[in-house]
Amino acid sequence: MTKGDLAAMEALYLIKIGEIRLKDGNRAEFENRLKRDIKRRLSSFHSEVSSREGRYYLKVDEEHALKAEFALSRIPGINGWARAHKMPKDMTRMRAAAIAAMEPLVAQGAKTFKIEARRSDKGFVLDSYGIARELGGTILERFPTIRVDVHNPDAIIYVEVREKAYVFSDPSYGMRGLPIGSGGRGLLLLSGGIDSPVAGYKMLSRGLALESLYFHSYPYTSKEAWEKVRDLASNLATYSGGMTLHTASFTDVQLKIKKDALPEKSTLYLRACMMMAADMVAKGRGLNAIVSGESLGQVASQTAENMRFTGSYTDYPILRPLVGTDKEDTIRLARSIGTFDISILPYEDCCVLFSPKHPVLKAKYDEERAEFDGLGFREAVAQAVSTMETVELPFTFTPPQATAVQR
């Protein structure tokens, strides 16, 4: 097939939305956000997004089908999508389409199936039961090795008869959640670790648009450490549709901590300084929340007492979507979203280098507040924020792989 032939064909997708369906008053706003997000990501070629009777459809030229599928799998607010065959309401055409939809599923090993038919055009010759029976018979004839199982089928072929007939197979999973931006805009504290990218992903899926903030301590941390964080941010950009990454140098802050604070307090104070910086960045950028990858009890700095102390340096809500998540589950999610292999690259992040052997586990709130405030970190933190560098990472169809930074 030539490129010209491909362009002449079109790929049609049926999109299933999730929680947006449950919205009453402002559903239109959620839907418009979602449509805009789809169009924006596919803006490098022609696409059409339409909705009818609570269903969404996306149409692109066949040559862009894989890109469209990549985007649909990563857009918050989309529960699932399926490649659809659209045709006139004619049983012969519908039989052919059912066979075409079933073919790849049989090739993938499906042994059982069912047809799920819906008919909103009540004038059609067959009712939904009749459609299912007819098309089921067609499939059994064409694929003699498979059988019907209405309770627990390996594959489902969906048929809908409305202004046209649509046939489509099992939907692929989407990211679910709510459209980007519907939950406001937050600042993700993004380190090179496993947790914070996953925390960012989880908040994106709740509709929180994100910017990221990374603290480095050059020359104590390497350029590779920054590149790793950039690749993590680029990966998140494939879910958020683009990502702004701020990098602030915390070298002076860390040196001051080392000079003025007891070693066992350095991690705690560093976290407080990070929170203070995040607060300044969030105010400067007009954001509404701070997101962190903390999980209760995972490391010394992540006890409730310490979170109370560090959290007191901002009045923004601190969203910690992993606070109750087991590390194994976080790792599983990191693998499935594609950040794990990048996160485990060896480059040190700034905190490790200055970490004490026996950090304070339970900050005594009033005592620490007085001591920390007495050391006067605000100026060094403000300096780090005022000199931070910002890069815009675009949405791309090719997320960075770990190999891109492994030298």
Tokens (6 digits) for 259:
């000079």
Pick between residue 156 and residue 344 the one whose CB is nearest to ligand ATP.
344
CA angle 149, 152, 158 (to 5 degrees): 75
With CB cut-offs between 5 and 8 Å by kind, which of ligand ATP, Mg ion, none does residue 12 bind? none
Provide, rounded to whole angstroms, the least separation between the CB of residue 211 and ligand ATP.
Answer: 12
The correct pick among 350, 384, 385, 388 for binding ligand ATP (CB under 6 A) is 350
Pick between residue 135 and residue 253 the one whose CB is nearest to ligand ATP.
253
Pick between residue 79 and residue 298 the one whose CB is nearest to Mg ion.
298
Query: Are the CB atoms for 64 and 42 separated by under 8 Å?
Result: yes
Residues 190-209 that bind ligand ATP (CB under 6 A): 190-191, 193-196
Pick between residue 12 and residue 299 the one whose CB is nearest to ligand ATP.
299
Residues 180-219 that bind Mg ion (CB under 5 A): 191, 193
CA 331 centroid distance within chain: 15
Phi, psi of 14 (to 5 degrees): -100, 130
Provide, rounded to whole angstroms, the least separation between the CB of residue 291 and ligand ATP.
Answer: 7
Pick between residue 191 and residue 330 the one whose CB is nearest to Mg ion.
191
**Residue 179 in the binding site for Mg ion (CB under 5 A):** no
CA distance 214 to 91: 58
**Residue 231 in the binding site for ligand ATP (CB under 6 A):** no
Pick between residue 20 and residue 233 the one whose CB is nearest to ligand ATP.
233
**Residue 171 in the binding site for Mg ion (CB under 5 A):** no
List of residues 6+ apart from 197 with CB closer than 8 A: 190, 232, 235, 236, 293, 334, 337, 339, 342, 343
Query: Are the CB atoms for 158 and 114 separated by under 8 Å?
Result: no
CA distance 117 to 100: 16
CA distance 373 to 368: 8
Residues 265-294 that bind ligand ATP (CB under 6 A): 274, 292-294
CA distance 79 to 262: 50
H or E element: which one contains 216? Answer: strand 209-216
Q: Which residue has the tokens 């390497």?
A: 222
Query: Nearest residue by C-beta to ligand ATP?
Result: 193
**Region binding ligand ATP by CB under 6 A among candidate stretches 5-13, 39-47, 213-221, 380-388:** 213-221
Per CB under 6 A, residues contacting ligand ATP are 189-191, 193-196, 213-215, 274, 292-294, 298-299, 301-302, 349-351
